[in-house]
Amino acid sequence: MLEKTKELFRQSIVVRFSGDSGDGMQLAGTIFSNVSAEVGDQISTFPDYPAEVRAPQGSLNGVSGFQVHIGHGVHTPGDECDVLVAMNPAALKQNAGFLRRGGVAIVDIDSFKKADLEKALFTTDDPYTEIDLKAQVVEVPMTSMVKAALADSGMDFKAQMKCRNMFALGLVCWLFNMPLDGALHFLQKKFEKKPAVYEANAKVVRGGFDYGHNIHASVSTYRIESDKARPGIYTDVNGNKATAWGLILASEKSGRPLFLGSYPITPATDILHELAKRRDLGVKACQMEDEIGGICSALGASFAGHLAVTSTSGPGLALKSEALGLGVMAELPLVLIDVQRGGPSTGLPTKTEQTDLLQALYGRSGECPLVVLAALSPTDCFHMAFEAARLAIEHMTPVILLTDAFIANGSSAWRIPDEDDYPEIHPNYVPEEMREGWRAYQRNAEGVRYWAIPGTEGLQHRVGGLEKDYDTGVLSNDPLNHERMVNARKEKVANVARHIPEQELLGDADADTVLVGWGGTYGHLYTAMEQLQEQGRKIAFTQFRYINPLPVNTRELLTRFKRVIVAELNDGQFAHYLQAEIPELNICRINKVQGQPFLVHEIVDQVNKIMEG
Amino acid sequence: MEQNTQQPYQPKDFKSDQTVRWCPGCGDHAVLNVLHKAMAELGIPPHMNAVISGIGCSSRLPYYMNTYAFHTIHGRGGAVATGFKTARPDMTVWQVAGDGDGLAIGGNHFIHEVRRNVDLNLLLLNNKIYGLTKGQYSPTSDRGFVSKSSPYGTTEDPFIPAELVFGARGTFFARGIDVELKISQEIMTEAVKHKGCSVVEILQNCMIFNNGIHNYITARETRADRTIHLVHGQKMIFGKDLDKGLVQDGFGLKAVTIGQDGYTIDDVLVHDACCQSNFLHQQLAMMDGTTLPLAIGVIRNVEAPTYEAEVEAQVQDVKARHGYRNLREMILDGDTWQVD
């Protein structure tokens, strides 16, 4: 089921700074490109000056721009930009055409007042609609923040505003993970003879950086683009939104209303935002008092007969682990979305990692198995959220879906599925003929407990966290009964393997070496495999998205290879899991724990090194 | 079990077949029986009731109910009940919590369910001790209380549950004591009739680890003088001979004997549980049986929008104004393009 169309993976970004010619956009752009070069990126820049040296302030003719293309495989300044910084309405209007569809526009909202809009010949008070801007707009009060930062500097307003470009630079440095040292060093040299000016600029550039940090600013700049699109209707979607939508479809296909109990946490909050909007589809999304309240309200809604979901990131998953255990014990359907970020503890809240895998698999008290899935890409979040809900409902179990900051914020063109692209979901209701004398912990042939929807006459029952008797469902401390129930819960989850697709192999099936990944690294690993093949290497590739249980053919598929290279954004968690499940595998590891996605060339280099022995 | 042929349901209809396992003499037995009776009196069918609890002795109660029932984890009953009620506003939802479960580990959920005014009936069984873990002090234990975890006495002040409820802008607070069965039944039925988060504190004895903790209040000989049964619209009178009353005394309250010191029955306050201001409710709830009698009965009972009804109404309103039939229709209404 992996996408087999050739995919193009972008690992470079184009940023365009634009403003009045007096706004210092060239300087901001130059510093950004120099700093990028210092950290090892390839760069290509393109200054775009106005014809006049000083056209009237705020006018269309006075707009100046500077485009920077950084990353790997960069040979041009880029046709379109991913991020457009616009210091005023004129800059936005002049440069919006360069911004790719679904890109990000960062504007100084303080300079979007009525008079500013008029200078740029806008005729309405909604400039975005007026120019048909198809972008994510980030409105930042730059002018007022610069003013506040320099309140004690003794500088007049005009002088203060000359530093506004540095605020934009600081914010962009935050977004693209550029340390400020390089920028500060550059400023120090430039203003060697004017220490006061240096101090002011340094303060503002730090202010912009800290602002991004404080509001957990992030932008979707990475895309996986399919160059051979299937006919259909498309839209742009990021991983978090796709996740929310997949859950809504599952609600429609199961006939169970959707409930979300959640608590804000970066980078998962956009799932709460999207589902909160979807009152228009009957979704009940509730912001609870804490992470535990989030999952517990969801468990209450699940017991009440809803498709219940809670969304979080790593630290929230830790807080929810006791309630997950309750979900396992009460055998209720529940979907937990963990948008992984850098950890442990508060860690790197806006950065991406795959470090919650073992927590998802094992992080609970007692023998507590549940289903663990992972999404491959922004659009795959839709599919896997649907799958998570399907398996939870049909197998009466909590399911954890692991996504990550990279695919959650990353966006991609997505073909809107047709009505019948997805199957109906069949809740395991108590069959009519079993109602008489039905007991809460009776199981079907798959070992699945039945779901009695409250309000149904005659199906009153009691569930809870204490161990129950296998037959009667009454509390039991019997030693052998406990072991029997532990096994029953384990088998129920293991049986899910019969209801998921087999693992697919890409690349050279007759190779000695297979490259293995899981979840959101799919795009990088796939591209790395292609590059390795272009270099003449024989290599196979497979990316896991069903983690527990593993697809039934996993052992057969992986034991064909002399060498299994597991690449992941952690210190070897999936490799550890695979080795435990299939001890005979000869596993080599590629690991990165920097809060950053893989770079394709890193994988290619390391695979080459391993294969050369 | 007495039968009432006027009622569609009898108390036994709400009893499960599971063996009740509390210690003999535990106040929980009384609460359970009263709850069965209150449910029968209310006449809401067993399958339209849900009983949800956390952890503790009292939290075993759901197992003894022939309703939909969920015994959850320590302190979280309130959050589970909130989710349940929000999903299913048509069901009558009960939450059972002890003083440790509700006010210590579950304190956050407690104040938030009260603040949100979720239409729940919250039985807070207060025996001022941790019984299930065998005798540690609880957040309602008095300063200096000696227990296994405070062998030299506690060095902290307790919560007074009513104060928390008022602090969280609660709309309903009632108090009962385990030995006053009729009053407990009365406040439970009032709690269900009240739309919103109805907190019912029941002072209750633990025979094993805290025997007699409420004796000062509950002892048969002195109970009438140390408690006052408040009923909305009625004079606040109490005492064995019903000759004592509460009167306003500056900013506070005073207990007087009617016919003494110039006080007549006309001076005695009439209870108004429905007054929006909680100023006097709080004063009444803080009376502890020493200088002023401990108040039992419904102390506060005011109307306010309930959380689950507001969520439901918002869903209906948004759907009516710009709702979609399904996900596909919603997505197609956004920014899309066609690939042929």
Mean pLDDT of A340-345: 96
Class of domain A8-214: alpha beta
C-beta atoms of B70 and A292 within 8 A: no
Q: Is A403 helix (H, G, I), strand (E, B) or coil?
A: strand
Cβ–Cβ contact B334 with A under 8 A: yes
Cβ–Cβ contact A462 with B under 8 A: yes
Cβ–Cβ contact A326 with B under 8 A: yes
Could you give the angle at the alpha carbon of B296 between the alpha carbons of B294 and B298, nearest 5°?
135
> Residue A340: enclosing H or E segment and its boundaries?
strand A334-340
Mean pLDDT of B41-64: 97
C-beta atoms of B338 and A458 within 8 A: no
pLDDT over 90 at A17, yes or no? yes
| Of the candidate ranges A75-79, B135-139, B154-158, B263-267, the one whose mean pLDDT is the lowest | A75-79
Cβ–Cβ contact A225 with B under 8 A: no
Instruction: Of A100-104, A121-125, A215-219, give the range with the top mean pLDDT.
Output: A121-125
Mean pLDDT for chain A overall: 91
Domain ranges of chain A: 8-214, 229-421, 506-611
DSSP states of A498-545: GGSPPPP-EE-TT-SEEEEEEGGGHHHHHHHHHHHHHTT---EEEEE-
pLDDT of residue A11: 65
A499-511 pLDDT per residue, tens = 999 999 999 999 9
pLDDT over 50 at B159, yes or no? yes
Class of domain A506-611: alpha beta
| Of the candidate ranges A37-41, A47-51, A252-256, B138-142, the one whose mean pLDDT is the lowest | A47-51
pLDDT of residue A582: 98
| Of the candidate ranges A126-130, A257-261, A486-490, B119-123, the one whose mean pLDDT is the lowest | A126-130
Cβ–Cβ contact A366 with B under 8 A: no
Phi, psi of A408, deg, nearest 5: -65, -40
A138-147 pLDDT per residue, tens = 899 999 999 9
pLDDT of residue A1: 35
Of the candidates B16, B79, B84, the beta carbon closest to that of A304 is on B84
Domain ranges of chain B: 11-223+299-307
Judge whether A597 and A353 are in contact, CB under 8 Å. Answer: no
A588-606 pLDDT per residue, tens = 999 999 998 898 889 999 9
Share above pLDDT 70 across residues of chain B, in percent, rounded to a whole number? 99
Residues 6+ positions from A475 with CB-CB distance below 8 Å: A466, A467, A468, A469, B18, B63
Cα–Cα distance for residue pair B336/B176, rounded to 1 Å: 61
Q: So what's the architecture of A229-421 in CATH?
A: 3-Layer(aba) Sandwich (3.40)
Beta strands in chain B (DSSP E): 49-53, 68-71, 92-98, 120-126, 129-130, 136-137, 172-177, 198-203, 227-230, 237-238, 244-249, 252-257, 294-301, 336-339
pLDDT of residue A10: 54
Residues 6+ positions from A178 with CB-CB distance below 8 Å: A32, A35, A36, A39, A172
pLDDT of residue A382: 98
Mean pLDDT of A117-122: 93
Judge whether B298 and B190 are in contact, CB under 8 Å. Answer: yes
pLDDT of residue B124: 98
| Of the candidate ranges A8-12, A407-411, A434-438, B296-300, the one whose mean pLDDT is the lowest | A8-12
pLDDT of residue A227: 47
A529-553 pLDDT per residue, tens = 999 999 999 999 999 999 999 999 9
pLDDT over 70 at A219, yes or no? no
Cα–Cα distance for residue pair A292/A317, rounded to 1 Å: 9
pLDDT over 60 at A4, yes or no? no
pLDDT band for A250, please (50, 70, 90 cuts). Answer: very high
C-beta atoms of A460 and B48 within 8 A: no
Q: A279 to chain B: nearest residue by CA?
A: B315
CB atoms within 10 A of CB B154: 17
pLDDT of residue B2: 53
Distance between B47 CA and the closest CA of chain A, angstroms: 5
Which of B49, B82, B326 should one mutate to test binding to chain A, selecting the residue with the greatest count of A CBs within 10 A?
Answer: B82
pLDDT of residue A6: 37
| Of the candidate ranges A11-15, A161-165, A283-287, the one whose mean pLDDT is the lowest | A11-15
Tell me the CATH number of domain B11-223+299-307, given options 3.40.50.970, 3.30.450.40, 3.30.360.10, 3.30.413.10: 3.40.50.970
Distance between A371 CA and the closest CA of chain B, angstroms: 21
Residues 6+ positions from B215 with CB-CB distance below 8 Å: none
pLDDT over 60 at A121, yes or no? yes
Tokens representing residue A75 in the block: 């040979």
Which of A251, A281, A459 should one mutate to test binding to chain B, selecting the residue with the greatest count of B CBs within 10 A?
Answer: A281
Interface of B with A in 216-275 (CB under 8 A): none
Mean pLDDT for chain B overall: 95
Cα–Cα distance for residue pair B79/A298, rounded to 1 Å: 9
Longest dimension (CA), chain A: 90
The CB-side HSE value for B251 (13 A sphere, CA atoms) comes to 2
